[in-house]
Structure 1
Amino acid sequence: MSPRTSERGATRSGERGPAVTPGRVAVLLLAVFALIFIFQNTRHTRIRLLIPEVTMPLSTALLVAALIGSFFGAYVMRRRR
């Protein structure tokens, strides 16, 4: 084989790997389960945001926390590369 060709499954720099990987499937399943959990908890609850105390649906608070966690997780993973 020439240096320009690669074996199946191996990637050269600049090429993307397969679209469906076990890690991506696991993340997708985790996201689906998290969304189910979030939207099943719709009761209003009191939440303290540093100083003020607000009343909001628990699903909104969980969704915001999940989005913030996802953002920081993606940021950390990009910084590792």
Structure 2
Amino acid sequence: MSPKTPDSAAAEGAKGGLMKTARTSVLALAAFVLVFVSENTGATRIRLLGSEVTMPLWTALLGTGAIGAVCGVWFMKRKSR
């Protein structure tokens, strides 16, 4: 192992601060989504390809968010290849 130089120590500190900011942003966004979903609990009609379903709005929002998250992870993995 090579000893840490002042430049590499500063770079590690900046990276750690960035990760902390990103984690805080994600937690704030998750809290916002939970509040948004909890405020939208009424029933809604959803039509897809000719069929119609009535379900609570929070279920539709949660399902849409889950599909978006899966697509985001898939695209990020594809991009890293």
Tell me the alpha carbon deviations over residues 19-46 of structure 1, each in whole angstroms, 9 at most, x when there is no partner. Answer: x431222122111101110121110010
Please tell me whether residue 61 in structure 1 is matched to residue 29 in structure 2: no
Unaligned stretches of 5+ residues in structure 2: none
Unaligned stretches of 5+ residues in structure 1: 12-16
Moved over 3 A (4+): none
Please state which structure has a larger fraction of its residues in helix: 2
Aligned residues: percent identity?
44
Q: Which amino acid aligns with 2:71?
A: F
Which runs of structure 2 are paired with 1:30-69 in the superposition (5 Å)? 30-69=29-68
TM-score w.r.t. length of structure 2: 0.73
Displacement of 1:10 in angstroms is: 4.3
Which runs of structure 2 are paired with 1:1-81 in the superposition (5 Å)? 4-6=2-4, 7-8=8-9, 10=11, 18=16, 20-81=19-80
Across the two proteins, how many residue pairs are aligned to each other? 74
